[in-house]
Chain A
């Protein structure tokens, strides 16, 4: 009796699965029929990238009638996705994964550059303005920080000053700099960008001194006022190998990368993405709306698009 019942349930289950599969396939063919030219954007987890993706998505969908999906993935993962074609483009790359960049762009030629984004990225060591005003000498020469390391001590860093390091996926050689220049600081990495942002916000609100790896463009820069500490000038290749690095960071022209096939197709979407080029201020405006004013990315993009028609008209490919 019981066996029979289990049997009927089994048959019923198989039946359901079968129907699922059939209807699914039917739905599948429908979807792929209209979705041939869907563009997949790799969107790293920082807000600037969200701003890029939101504006590009909105314009592509409204002006060129191209379907866009923004998939959230960090740089290293994004390069794999560009290589395999699971993503068509990344709009903002900080050259944080040189190994993969070399492999896919130069060796396998599955990923191609899409030109500069226009936004200039800059990484450096920063202190809050309220501290910098009191100690202008340390801002001009990073070695003078050693004089004040006691200001930066925390329970984490013990006897040394606390250096707030970058999130794991970011380009960095601070640990080596601290070692090579005998700085009296302990490099304590942030686990994630969000964690670092929150920690800085907390310290800033409490008016505590801190020394951190920081960069622009960054939407938080509108909310907290920081001053850069001068590091030795960057010369090409000076940070390779990292263990011998004795220089600051390169000022980075953020670059777009495209899947090679997508770029070759030269579709309208591909042309548009190659044309897409805006300034740090523009990006910060949109990012600030998203993160600072907590607007929905789509609404923020719509607002910017409405106000800056002259800027984006150039991106639309000519017929």
Chain B
């Protein structure tokens, strides 16, 4: 019962590339399925491996990693923990290096926050709107007005929702975090974009930075930097810098060779070439990187509050403790709005730079823009000096709307009725039980029953089929590392949840993606929904999820699907939409129906983006393992959470590494060679 489920899942993952050898358009009237199959050694190997897994699983019944091949990773980590605690006040590395780092971070944040506070809400709104307007071009164009309008609306709504103060704290933290992440990411991207050796060294580092759950490195950071803003800031930068670095490097590498050639022939040296040709050409990618970095910074808001950073994250977390969904939602909305604000402003600035690059700029406009920026600086000074005097420190109490209680009532009603009140169908709680009993439990039992060498064989074969022997080796090493750290059984539990979550994510993602690509109206409705799903702190919907399906692994999986599906939907829809119009035209003129067109033309041609979607699904579902641990997912996620909250380095850190191992393994298994596209 169990193992077939697993192997079926794995086969679907790897089938596109294996059928790729017989041409992109597999026609149903191919000679004989069996003959083709026998001629394909890779498919044969897969079947053999799958058979080995099933048979060995059934025979042995207990497949845990042998104890003799493990090592005690706990004691050295405990030693490290103790050493850090004993020495952090005295050792030179803290006094002369880390302390400066944390002080700088703290000073930046404090300065910015006190500036925002001293400007009072009137100053922040005026200056914020002006900056957004100036970023959009500082004129009467639609873009400039729209960007300014967005900023104005965001600030006012945050005030009206009565979260002005925490919003300012978060805004200050985010600005500092974005600046640091962008700088660090830019520098690393420059290094890996210009040197192949750096690229090779840095790529696995970026992978680890992104897949490693932030919970796992919060603890070492607390040990080194103490709780508070510096730790939070550093954790955010670690998490958010990779996309900037990756895209910068990608942009530098993609620069048009003819343009570079031209620059060389004009006598530019390497530095001039970089500054005048390569960097400007990579501008678009770098803006995209910045945008991603902003989004990822904001997704760390709640986590940052766990280690004393305060702000909106604290509001969310505290509201949850009292089960006040409404309050959590309000703070969550403010986070989303900040994301919108920063996103739109940087996007507008990017577009404007593009315009300037393509069509040039007149002297007067340039002077005008400079004057606007000068005006903004003066205004900041003025407001900082007299802002509180004009308008007082706080958002006026009368100007707020409180709808959190009605949200609570609405959510309660909704979850009560969906939970078990639907006639005939039973409701979400019954479905969740079914899902646990018929999918999750068999999958987990199957993985646990499969001997470790059987699973390693399967991983190796899939890795070899999908990628190269390198992918196979990486996958097996990751598995071995998990076993070596004595985390095999727990990791298999997590793996079963990740696979089930991935399966659901892909189904939901692809179906909705197809709908979005084919029906304009669905696309328009879905876009803001997807934006919200991606930026709303996951903590906000944890409680409603429990109300819907109970505190169990299904709840964790549901949360993961909510988080991961938007990316899959987007990539799928994008892939389908960009299918060569000529091919579509041809199929229409040949009289293909909509269905035939979808399955015969669009889906096969969009295969590449579907693979990217799969890969993104893997990464995102995995990044929710820890969050799932918070609502009953247990396993590795729970270990990481407990490690952090008990301050136990030897528990949280290895579990975090095991999650990274699972991530890298699944990534390599879902990523055909030469098609590595991330972010």
Contact = CB atoms under 8 A, between A and B. Distances in A.
Contact of B373 (A12, A46, A205): A12
A169 B114 contact: no
B373 A190 contact: no
B633 interface: yes
Interface string A194-208: 111111011001100
B638 A191 contact: yes
Interface in B329-376: 356-357, 360-361, 366, 370, 373-374, 376
A2 B357 contact: yes
A156 B543 CA distance: 18
Interface stretch (A27-35, A113-121, A142-150): A27-35
A86 interface: yes
B308 A76 contact: no
Contact of A155 (B366, B542, B552, B630): B552
A76 B275 contact: no
A74 B111 CA distance: 27
A163 to B, nearest CB: 13
A187 B85 CA distance: 32
A33 to B, nearest CB: 12
Nearest to A203: B550
Interface stretch (B18-26, B313-321, B447-455, B525-533): B313-321
A169 B553 contact: no
A211 interface: no
Interface string A4-33: 010010001001100111011111101100
B318 A72 contact: yes
A105 interface: no
A168 B646 contact: yes
Nearest to A162: B552
A24 B373 contact: no
B220 to A, nearest CB: 13
B227 interface: yes
A169 B645 contact: yes
Contacts of A74: 306, 645
Interface stretch (B192-200, B433-441, B573-581, B613-621): B433-441
B646 A76 contact: yes
A84 interface: yes
A164 B321 CA distance: 17
B306 to A, nearest CB: 8
Contact of B111 (A25, A47, A155): A25
B651 to A, nearest CB: 10
B184 interface: no
A45 B321 contact: yes
Contact of B631 (A28, A86, A195, A219): A195
B228 interface: yes
A241 to B, nearest CB: 15
Given A190-B551, A198-B323, A19 B310 contact: no
Interface of B: 85, 110-112, 114-115, 117-118, 222, 226-228, 275-276, 280, 305-308, 310, 314, 317-318, 320-324, 356-357, 360-361, 366, 370, 373-374, 376-377, 380-381, 384-385, 404-405, 408, 416, 419-420, 432-433, 436-437, 441, 542-543, 546-547, 550-553, 628-634, 637-638, 641-642, 645-647
16 contacts: A2-B280, A8-B366, A12-B373, A20-B380, A23-B380, A23-B381, A28-B111, A72-B310, A77-B306, A77-B647, A84-B227, A155-B441, A168-B645, A191-B628, A192-B641, A202-B546
Q: Which 9 A-B pairs have the closest CB atoms?
A: A24-B111, A169-B645, A168-B642, A191-B630, A199-B551, A155-B436, A23-B384, A76-B647, A291-B322
Given A77-B222, A191-B551, A194-B543, 17 more contacts: A5-B366, A8-B366, A19-B377, A24-B111, A24-B384, A27-B115, A31-B114, A80-B227, A154-B433, A189-B634, A191-B632, A192-B320, A194-B323, A195-B546, A198-B547, A202-B546, A291-B324
